[in-house]
């Protein structure tokens, strides 16, 4: 920095101001300094800068799983908001492992990020709670009841209700549900399904088949249904993958979708939109989740400590896997 000041023929203090993009520096000074800096190949040392300034203007974003495009969309929303507010986003991945997540959070904390955003994270609540006491923390995608932190997620129970309502409107009464076992979101989706069936007077027709969010589980569920006396006229699967597995099992048995059985999935995964599959499904406002979570965090960082828990509305996407109920339904 010393050298840059000399090269530009100004003071060290001015160089510092320019590098920080302070409005106190005149336009010509700015130019002179930048020119000198690039001539010398100088660039500010963030470690030194952060150390002296005692803040980093950085937020750490922990993504549970890079393989899942869900997180990519949340990250897009986060980046958008954070950058507009002048924060750098640094990413880390938990690779589906709580201990890796935990180390990532430690790294964020050691790096003195100004705030932390966790997307779909699985580490123990107590661990997160502890982190939240060091720095503002918001969870995206998973509702966390913890104190001192915020969360933004989609309303899974509502999503399930939308799926059931859609099928009911198509005339279906025998609507089964393939659930997601102990997976994330499985419980509220199942509860939402049961509540919705009851609300339309179909509690007696409700039927939950165990699954685990895999294609394989959807396939098994399909084979199970096919062995029974009466085939339901519609199935609501807890995610798209099991919906596809189910459709496959039905197809192998010569059962037409949606002619004989309608199918609705959940998540609006990328492949759901492939023409070849055309799955009706429930879409989560992933981008909005990211935006809101980032907004909440940025607001908290700016002093207005308004960490709350918000639920966003999912919506139905209708494609070719759902249709009118068959005659004998």
Which is closer to a copy of itself, CB of 176 or CB of 277? 277
Is 205 within 8 Å of 175 (Cβ atoms)? yes
Instruction: At 264, list the tokens.
Output: 């609705």
Q: Does 40 participate in binding a copy of itself (rule CB under 8 A)?
A: no
Q: Does 24 participate in binding a copy of itself (rule CB under 8 A)?
A: no
* Residue choice 31, 40, 48, 274 for contact with DNA (CB under 7 A): 48
> Least distance to DNA from the beta carbon of 19, Å?
5
Q: Does 12 participate in binding DNA (rule CB under 7 A)?
A: yes
**Interatomic CA distance for residues 47 and 52, integer angstroms:** 9
Instruction: At 40, list the tokens.
Output: 């010398």
Return the residues of window 123-182 that contact a copy of itself according to CB under 8 A.
134
The angle subtended at Cα 187 by Cα 229 and Cα 219, nearest 5°, is 40
* Residue choice 31, 35, 199, 274 for contact with a copy of itself (CB under 8 A): 274
Q: Does 91 participate in binding a copy of itself (rule CB under 8 A)?
A: yes
Considering CB distances under 5 to 8 angstroms, the limit depending on partner class, which of a copy of itself, DNA, none binds residue 92?
a copy of itself
Residues that bind DNA (CB under 7 A): 1, 5, 10-14, 16-17, 19-20, 24-26, 28-29, 42, 44-45, 48-49, 51-54
Residues that bind a copy of itself (CB under 8 A): 41, 43-48, 50-51, 56, 63, 65-67, 69, 71-73, 75-76, 79, 88, 90-93, 95, 106-107, 109-112, 134, 215, 219, 244-245, 247-248, 251, 270-271, 274-277
């Amino acid at each position: 920095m010393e050298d840059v000041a000399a090269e530009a023929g100004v003071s060290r203090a001015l160089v510092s101001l320019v590098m920080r993009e302070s409005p106190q520096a005149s336009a010509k000074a700015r130019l002179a300094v930048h020119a000198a800096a690039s001539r010398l190949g100088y660039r500010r040392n963030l470690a030194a800068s952060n150390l002296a300034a005692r803040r980093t203007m950085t937020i750490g974003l922990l993504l549970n799983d890079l393989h899942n495009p869900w997180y990519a969309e949340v990250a897009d929303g986060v980046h958008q908001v954070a950058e507009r507010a002048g924060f750098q986003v640094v990413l880390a991945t938990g690779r589906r492992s709580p201990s890796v997540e935990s180390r990532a959070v430690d790294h964020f904390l050691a790096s003195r990020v100004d705030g932390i955003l966790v997307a779909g994270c699985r580490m123990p609540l107590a661990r997160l709670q502890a982190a939240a006491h060091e720095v503002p923390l918001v969870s995206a995608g998973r509702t966390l009841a913890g104190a001192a932190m915020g969360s933004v997620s989609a309303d899974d129970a509502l999503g399930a209700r939308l799926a059931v309502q859609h099928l009911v409107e198509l005339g279906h009464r025998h609507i089964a549900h393939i659930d997601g076992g102990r997976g994330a979101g499985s419980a509220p989706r199942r509860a939402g399904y049961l509540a919705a069936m009851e609300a339309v007077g179909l509690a007696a027709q409700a039927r939950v088949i165990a699954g685990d969010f895999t294609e394989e589980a959807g396939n098994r569920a399909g084979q199970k249904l096919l062995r029974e006396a009466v085939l339901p006229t519609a199935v609501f699967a807890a995610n798209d993958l099991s919906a596809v597995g189910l459709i496959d099992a039905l197809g192998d048995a010569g059962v037409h979708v949606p002619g004989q059985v309608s199918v609705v999935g959940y998540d609006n995964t990328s492949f759901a939109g492939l023409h070849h599959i055309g799955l009706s499904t429930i879409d989560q406002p992933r981008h909005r989740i990211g935006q809101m979570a980032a907004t909440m965090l940025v607001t908290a960082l700016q002093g207005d400590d308004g960490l709350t828990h918000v639920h966003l509305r999912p919506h139905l996407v209708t494609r070719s896997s759902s249709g009118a109920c068959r005659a004998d339904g």
